[in-house]
Amino acid sequence: MSYFGPGHGACPGCGFPIAVKAVLEALEGKAFVVNPTGCLEIVSSMYNRNVWGVPYIHSLFENAAAVAAGIEAALRALNRKHEGHVVVFAGDGATADIGFGMVSGAFDRNHDILYICYDNEAYQNTGNQQSALTPPGARTTTTPVGKRQPGKIGKKKDMVSIAVAHGIPYVASASVGYPNDLKRKVKRAVEFEGAKYIHVHAPCVTGWGIDGKQTVEVARLAVETGLYPLVEFEHGKLVRVMKIKEKKPVEEYLKAQRRFRHLFKHPEGRKIIEELQRIADENIKRYNLLQQ
Amino acid sequence: MRRVVRGFYAIAEAVRLCRPNVICAYPITPQTEIVENLAEMYANGELDAEYITAESEFAAASIVLGASAAGARVFTATSSQGLLLMTEVLFNAAGMRLPIVMVVANRSVSAPLSIWNDHQDSMTVRDAGIIQMHAENNQEAHDLIPLAYKVAEDKRVLLPFILNVDGFKLTHAYEPVDLLSQEVVDSFLPPYDPVVKLSTEKPVAMGCYAPPPYYMEFRVAMEYAMERAKKVMEEAFKEWSEIIGRDYGSHVSAEHCEDAEVVAIAMGSLVGLVRDVVEEMRKEGKKVGLLKIRTFRPFPAEEVREALKNANKVIIFERSLSIGSDPPVTLEVKSALFGSSSPEIHSVVIGLGGRDIPREQIVKVISEVYEGKVKPGKRYEGVKEFEEVIP
Ligand SMILES: Cc1ncc(C[n+]2csc(CCOP(=O)(O)OP(=O)(O)O)c2C)c(N)n1
Ligand code: SF4
């Protein structure tokens, strides 16, 4: 059996299976997987149809970080640390909203775990509701588009900076558009003892309104516009960024997805597009992303 | 070794002797001193376990869940709001059949905020699939900890175990306690050997999701395990009492019930007081008895039925409410008696939120029932006259 699949029930073209496979391959299957409730869990852990080739536990929606901490403590207590790394795969809702406190607790205690947030920018399992990581302007079922509301109002929470602020040894962002980069980051991450956080951008075909074949292309556009900078911190210091060869306008990224389509018609739409462009430009400046 | 110690120490010391691998808890009065004592043992190198300071009870329960899933023997403790905050995780732990052992230092729940003792907290998880016992005194609390592990980890059971101890009344009381020795505990409690655990050598998936063709069997299996636990516990009571020479009865302890017209039922630290009163009334020639309920889950319905078979009147001293219905123990007793005897049932709610329970009150309640001065039904003892206000 492989580490993940075959036979999982994710939508064709879903982003997160790319991430899960890349991470487990990088770790050569030496992993204890903890997975909160969400799309990944539902498509992979049905009784009698479990697709995991590694030890796996589905916790609850909000406590994957703490359950991982407990597993890590047990492996330490039982002298079984050599068996593998404790790895969390959690959605953006599980990480940045309901499970936020426990992510912080596990980072604060610096448990030797690798926490991977697959960021599909909404609660996809329950049908595309907004999370703290839904970007401004996106249409979700709880931030619908109407006369008074042009999709989500408000920011995307910066989980990478929050993780860095905890002083944990390794933090990175990655994208399913660049699985080899993700693999390298995983290998680097586990060289550090303590808590590691990798934030992985992972498109959702249904929630974002894209074609299954466009996943990698859309994921890459997010990086190439500067909206989704791929960065790496070791002990709080920025050590590497993925340079952008040719900066693309955010409109190109937005136009590729149904969840942003209204921005080009709604009276408030222009302002939000400009705001997103400003965020992208700021990222480019902040991380010096442009290739000289 | 007999020493005068406080309840929290007696509990912590028993936990230490059980050689847990992972301990995690979050402070809440009146539980806190239990884990503080364990922290001290850890700091002094007397406790060979991972000791984790969680950021909340929700995390503490989750951490011990993860550790237990990975094959560790674990311990946590809490009270009141902390138990309520753990609730979702505890249902999950029970469903995953993880033998987590925890102590609940019983305390009332908010609002209004109260740190004092009653049994409302533990009643909130009575349907979770967790074994629950109530200790009468600190010696019993001390002795029941190894038993809790033995039962919870038994392959015929595999369910979490809550040992209830009355907050302050036991946790903070000085009592002489015969402390167990390591040799004795080791002889009774084998190392934890899980049936399944997370391991890369033999990968399993835990906590899976079960669609309708599967779900029900898992839940019913928990019910079967709880039924088996009754027997497993009896074996353990017997073995333990033979080893340590202290016998607390079985799931219940029926005293003077054979010929009693009135039987008073209590759980936890109140038992001692009720026993005193019953003994005194016996000396006066009154046919009263005491039924101490030690195991609340699995509820020992047969034993209760047997103990009450000759009673005309039953008084249940209730330390919690089920707002909108009969209080919890009353519900259980009525259900146990259904279809057999039908004595008068007096459900007497008493001592909520640490309200004092004077001896005269117990005397008065039992005497009034004995003399037929009060009608059966639900009553509140020790409540002042009050006007209803919305706080
Ligand atoms: C306490 C609790 N509240 C709500 C839910 C319902 N629920 C299950 S998954 C989910 C959303 C998951 O979102 P995310 O973490 O972003 O993962 P995704 O489904 O997008 O992969 C919600 C709201 C739950 N399982 N538990
Ligand atoms: S709904 Fe979205 S996140 Fe969930 S499996 Fe489908 S594509 Fe993936």
Does residue A10 fall inside a structural domain?
A: no
Overall size of chain B counted in residues: 391
Do the chains contact at B199 and A55, CB–CB below 8 Å?
A: yes
Encoded tokens for A265:
């018609």
A44-103 per-position pLDDT tens digit: 999 999 999 999 999 999 999 999 999 999 999 999 999 999 999 999 999 999 999 999
Q: What whole-number percentage of chain A has pLDDT above 90?
A: 98
Host domain of residue A172: 16-287
Q: What is the DSSP letter of B243?
A: H
How far, in Å, CA of A261 to CA of A256, rounded?
A: 8
Task: Give residues with Cβ within 8 angstroms of B216, minimum separation 6.
Answer: none
How far, in Å, CA of A11 to CA of B294, rounded?
A: 53
Is residue A146 scored above 90 in pLDDT?
yes
Does residue A278 fall inside a structural domain?
A: yes
Q: What is the DSSP letter of B150?
A: H
Task: Tell me which residue has its CA closest to atom 4 in ligand 2.
Answer: A39
pLDDT band at residue B391, thresholds of 50, 70 and 90? confident
Q: Mind telling me how many Å the CA of B352 is from chain A's nearest CA?
A: 33
* Residue A262 backbone phi and psi in degrees, to 5: -60, -20
Angle (CA) B117-B123-B124 rounded to 5° is 110
pLDDT band at residue B48, thresholds of 50, 70 and 90? very high
Secondary structure of residue B8 in the 3-state scheme:
helix
Which of B62, B64, B76, B97 to mutate to probe the A interface, most A CBs <10 Å?
B62
Residues in chain A with CB shorter than 8 Å from the CB of B86 are none
B339-367 per-position pLDDT tens digit: 998 999 999 999 999 999 999 999 999 99
- Of B135, B115, B121, B153, nearest to B8 by C-alpha is B135
Q: In whole numbers, what is the pLDDT of chain A averaged over residues?
A: 97
Does residue A3 fall inside a structural domain?
A: no
Please report, to the nearest 10 degrees, the dihedral formed by the alpha carbons of residues B222, B152, B57, B14 taken in order.
Answer: 160
How far, in Å, CA of A177 to CA of A20, rounded?
A: 13
Q: Which amino acid is at B292?
A: K
Q: What is the residue whose two structure tokens read 């037929």?
A: B372
Secondary structure of residue A80 in the 3-state scheme:
coil
Residues in chain B with CB shorter than 8 Å from the CB of A73 are 22, 24, 50, 52, 63, 66-67, 72
Encoded tokens for A115:
């926490």
Kindly give the distance from the C-alpha atom of residue A145 to the centroid of ligand 2, in angstroms, as a whole number.
Answer: 21
ipTM above 0.90, yes or no: yes
Please report, to the nearest 10 degrees, the dihedral formed by the alpha carbons of residues B122, B126, B129, B135 taken in order.
Answer: 50
Q: Which residue of A52, A55, A67 is in closest CB contact with B62? A: A67
Q: What is the DSSP letter of A259?
A: G
Residues in chain A with CB shorter than 8 Å from the CB of B207 are 45, 57-59
In this structure, are residues A170 and A233 in contact, taking their beta carbons and an 8 Å threshold? yes
Label residues A187-217 b or e (16+ Cβ within 10 Å = b).
ebbbeeeebbbbbbbbbbbbbbebeeebbbe
Does residue A71 fall inside a structural domain?
A: yes
In this structure, are residues A227 and A276 in contact, taking their beta carbons and an 8 Å threshold? yes
User: Domain of A203: which CATH number?
Assistant: 3.40.50.970
Angle (CA) B292-B297-B301 rounded to 5° is 60
How far, in Å, CA of B14 to CA of B235, rounded?
A: 20
- pTM for the predicted model, two decimal places: 0.97
Does residue A1 fall inside a structural domain?
A: no
Res A1: pLDDT: 64
Please give the domain boundaries of chain B with CATH numbers for all domains: 2-244 (3.40.50.970), 252-381 (3.40.50.920)
Does residue A164 fall inside a structural domain?
A: yes
Question: CA of A270: how far to CAs of A100, A258, A265, A274, in Å?
Answer: 32, 16, 8, 6
Does residue A11 fall inside a structural domain?
A: no
- Of B139, B103, B99, nearest to B122 by C-alpha is B103
A246-273 per-position pLDDT tens digit: 999 999 999 999 999 999 999 999 999 9
* Residue B158 backbone phi and psi in degrees, to 5: 50, 65
Label the pairing between strands B252-255 and B288-293. Answer: antiparallel
User: How many Cβ atoms are within 10 Å of B183's Cβ, its own excluded?
Assistant: 9
Task: Give residues with Cβ within 8 angstroms of B35, minimum separation 6.
Answer: B12, B23, B25, B27, B77
Mean pLDDT of B19-36: 98
Classify residue B19 as left (phi > 0), alpha (psi -120 to 50) or beta.
left
How far, in Å, CA of A107 to CA of A135, rounded?
A: 25
Do the chains contact at A101 and B198, CB–CB below 8 Å?
A: no
B130-146 per-position pLDDT tens digit: 999 999 999 999 999 99
The residues pairing with B77 across neighbouring beta strands, listed in sequence order, are B103
Please give the tally of structural domains in chain A: 1
* Residue A60 backbone phi and psi in degrees, to 5: -120, -175
Does residue A110 fall inside a structural domain?
A: yes
- Give the DSSP H or E segment for A170: strand A170-175
